[in-house]
Amino acid sequence: MNEAMLSARRRRETIKIQVGRERFAWLVALALAFGCRARAVESAEAPKAAYDPEEATLFNDFFRPELFGLEAAETAPESDRLLYDRVARADVVVAARIVTVTREADDREPSYSIVLQPTASPLVGRPNDVPPVLKVRARSAAYAWIDANRDACVGIRALIFARNYEDGLHFHGSIDNPAVRDAVIRARIEPSRPR
């Protein structure tokens, strides 16, 4: 090749490199801008609610007795007057199976850690909102049930309504059947409670 052709070729390669660097710089700038925005949105997350008595009636850290093979409560879960409020306030409603139940004790009080495995996509919330572990503390109404039936709990399928509060995650465990799922979907679509 002659000198003129080599010179022209070098100029084209230099231009390609410069254009490539400019595109790369723009991509990096965009990525940083969106990355910073995402972090800003995460950090600007709304403060968590206080776990007051009204919230404790909705997310009572309790499992319905039917889940343990005990006599059904007076109200069917799909007719529960609190269902609409639970759905409206829940961070996530998901069908899950109890995988393990482990007793723990710390300096303050004993508790059980219940590991969940989702069995379907959440009816409310996003998959990342699904709690992997529920804590049942000694002061919870469910503690005695779990304590007496720890081994029988493994494998139980439930519909978990969960919400994060200032003091941590609280939940309500209900029966997972088509009637309850339909009621959750209705409550999500028509947020006003039926009379």
Which domain does 77 fall in, by range?
A: 53-189
117-126 pLDDT, tens per residue?
999 999 999 9
In a domain, 195, yes or no: no
Q: Are residues 34 and 65 in the same domain?
A: no
Same domain, 94 and 142: yes
Whether 89 and 142 map to the same domain: the answer is yes
Same domain, 75 and 5: no
Q: What is the pLDDT of residues 21-64, one digit of tens each?
A: 454 444 333 333 334 333 333 334 667 889 999 999 999 998 98
Same-domain check for residues 87 and 103: yes
Which pairs count as long-range contacts for 145-151, CB under 8 Å and 24+ apart, including other chains?
Answer: 145/63, 145/65, 145/68, 146/101, 146/112, 146/114, 147/103, 147/112, 149/68, 150/101, 150/103, 150/112, 151/101
Structural domain includes residue 19: yes
Task: Judge whether 99 and 116 are in contact, CB under 8 Å.
Answer: yes
**3-state secondary structure string across 113-155:** EEEEEECCCCCECCHHHCCCEEEEECCCCHHHHHHHCHHHHCC
* 162 close to 174: Cβ distance less than 8 angstroms: no
Q: Are residues 126 and 185 in the same domain?
A: yes
194 inside domain: no
Q: What is the CATH number of the domain that holds 114?
A: 2.40.50
Q: What is the predicted pLDDT for the residue at 44?
A: 41
Say if 141 falls within a structural domain.
Answer: yes
- Cβ burial, residue 2 (10 Å; 0-12/13-18/19+): exposed
pLDDT given at position 74: 77
The answer to whether residue 157 sits within a structural domain is yes
Selection from 94, 173, 104, 106 nearest residue 131 by Cα: 94
Query: What pLDDT, on the 0 to 100 scale, is given for residue 65?
Result: 85
Looking at the structure, tell me whether residues 31 and 110 fall in a common domain: no
Say whether both 146 and 184 belong to one domain: yes
pLDDT at 10: 65
pLDDT of residue 93: 97
Low-confidence ranges of the chain (pLDDT < 50): 19-21, 23-44
- The number of distinct structural domains making up the chain is 2
Of 128, 105, 110, the residue nearest 118 (C-alpha):
128
pLDDT value, residue 129: 86
**pTM of the full structure:** 0.73
Residue 163, classed as helix, strand or coil, is strand
Please give the pLDDT value at position 70.
Answer: 80
Residues 100 and 170 both lie in one domain = yes
Rounded to a whole number, what is the distance in angstroms from the first to the last CA of the chain? 89
Residue 135: name the closest of 165, 155, 175 by CA: 165
